[in-house]
Amino acid sequence: MKQYITYKEHIFENIPVDIKTFCINNGLEGTEVFFDDIVPRTNKLFSDNNEKTDIINKLTELQVKRLHCSYWAYPTSFLTKSHFNELIERFGSIDKVKEYYCDLTGKHIWDRWQQEYEIATAMNVQAYTFHLIDYAPIDGEWEFTIPISEIKQAMIYMIQQFILNLIEDDLLTEKSPIIEIENAGWGLEYGTQTNCDFIDIYRQLYDPLNKVKIGWDINHILHATGKRTDNGIAYFMLPDEEKTNEMVDLEKEYVQKHHKFAYEWITLNILDPQIIDKISAIHLSDCKLKDIEYFIKGKLQPPYSDEIDKLPTWEEKEEYGVNIVLTHYDSHVPLQKGILLGTDIKFLLNEILKANQDYVILHELKNSNEIQIDLTWQKSLID
């Protein structure tokens, strides 16, 4: 089972060896980077072969073997033009929408994603992670109003259009990389979140070369898991209408067994026999155990909503919301340092192997302050 690690410049700046040596020393095949960290997503990725070669050389130096696509806030309502007036209202004007997405047609986004896949193909990477979500440009500023069912259909449309674009330009071949769909997080964003959502994708998708696979981000699955402050009972931090029957059953069964509650929720999704063979990767990390429901349908709740409303600028509001997200939701703490304390993730990983010998592990410790310590700890639990 091959293992990789998420690369962020700040978490590796104090490592005394180069990235290649770090990977060798830790039994890693290489790294994954987010393309926006290489070239800002509002820019064209490359304009000629020289620029393309420069990017490939930079990625090669960083031992990149997996690539994560750039993505945008509300890509659904922009690319499908669904609820487009709401998008204009929240950005402030149609000119602001154009500034954020670079045009009003979606051409820039499709071209950018296609160039990213072109580089992924040239480098023969293990996977190109296509992360399609629907989230506000300022975390916590606005409530989600587009129905989840519409958003999921928009996600399917975008995946399908991406595949068709690649086929049309002869970029999708037997040898080109897997297109890995990463699951969205709960409470903060809408998109493809559950095993049932992925089953819907495969039911509708035209994928002649069988390229579309699943990247299960464990941290994202755990976003909505927590405990009540008054009685310590385990529950999903979601409105009742967003809870599935399986969620309700888990709440009733595990009550104050928070760690088992979270573990069984993961199991329910990733071990679904209908899609277990579609798994390309497990993005491995834990999520802090929360006892405060900061977001409901994407909107910060009091007193945090009051605080963000007081801030005078877009940038200050964005920083405030992102800080709460990275601290409490997208925390990516090492295994058993959060809600999965005491659970046996190695068992789950081995269960996947019984049905799928090709999947890989991505150690997604992108918020780490001591990457060598955290990686060594996490590997000790699964090797």
**Amino acid, res. 4:** Y
Q: How far apart are CA 340 and CA 336, in angstroms?
A: 5
Structure tokens at 241: 């209408």
So what's the pLDDT on residue 137? 85
Distance CA 369, CA 378 (A): 14
What is the DSSP code string of 303-325?
A: THHHHHHH--SHHHHHHHHHHHI
Q: Respond yes or no on whether the N-terminal peptide bond of residue 302 is cis (omega within 30° of 0).
A: no
Model pLDDT, residue 253? 95
Please answer whether residues 317 and 141 qualify as being in contact, where contact means their C-beta atoms are separated by less than 8 angstroms: yes
Instruction: Read off the pLDDT of residues 247-297 as tens digits, 9 standing for 90 and up.
Output: 999 999 999 899 999 999 999 999 999 999 999 999 999 999 999 999 999
Mean pLDDT of 89-108: 94
3-82+113-223+258-382 CATH pick, 3.20.20.150, 3.30.9.10, 3.40.50.300, 3.30.1200.10: 3.20.20.150
Mean pLDDT of 141-151: 89
Average pLDDT over residues 330-335: 96
Mean pLDDT for 189-195 is 89
Cβ 115 vs Cβ 105: under 8 Å: no
pLDDT in the model for residue 71: 83
- Supply the pLDDT for residue 50: 97
**Three-state secondary structure of 57-105:** HHHHHCCEEEEECCCCCCHHHHHCCCCHHHHHHHHCCHHHHHHHHCCCC
**Closest C-alpha to 269, from 299, 309, 225:** 225
pLDDT > 90: what percent of the chain? 88
Supply angle C-alpha 183, 330, 149, rounded to 5: 35
In the three-class reduction of DSSP (H, G, I as helix; E, B as strand; rest coil), residue 127 is classed as strand
* Amino acid at position 145, single letter: T
For residue 37, the tally of other CB atoms under 10 A from its CB is 13
pTM, 2 dp: 0.95
Rg (the chain; Cα; Å): 20
What pLDDT, on a 0 to 100 scale, did the predictor assign at position 236?
Answer: 96
The number of C-alpha atoms within 13 Å of 210 and in the hemisphere containing its C-beta is 5
Cβ proximity of 365 and 7 under 8 Å? no
Phi and psi dihedrals of 380, rounded to 5? -65, -25
Residue 330: both structure tokens together: 């997208």
CA gap 47, 52 in Å, rounded: 8
* The predicted structure's pLDDT at residue 147: 87
pLDDT of residue 230: 87
For 6-40, the pLDDT digits (tens) are: 999 999 998 999 999 999 999 999 999 999 999 99
pLDDT band for 216, please (50, 70, 90 cuts). very high
> Quick one: tokens of 67?
């690539």
Instruction: Read off the pLDDT of residues 52-72 as tens digits, 9 standing for 90 and up.
Output: 999 999 999 999 999 999 987
Q: Please enumerate in sequence order all residues whose Cβ is within 8 A of that of 383, keeping only pairs 6 or more positions apart, or say none.
A: 27
Q: What is the pLDDT of residue 189?
A: 84
Confidence of residue 186 (pLDDT cuts 50, 70, 90): confident
List beta partners, residue 299.
Answer: 140, 296
CA–CA distance from 35 to each of 56, 139, 195 (Å)?
12, 21, 27
Side-chain-side CA neighbours of 201 within 13 Å: the count stands at 31
Peptide bond into 147 cis (omega under 30): no
CB 311 within 8 A of CB 317: yes
The answer to whether residues 120 and 32 touch, using CB atoms and an 8 Å cutoff, is: no
| Main-chain phi, psi angles of 174, to 5 degrees | -60, -30
pLDDT band for position 136 (cuts 50, 70, 90)? confident
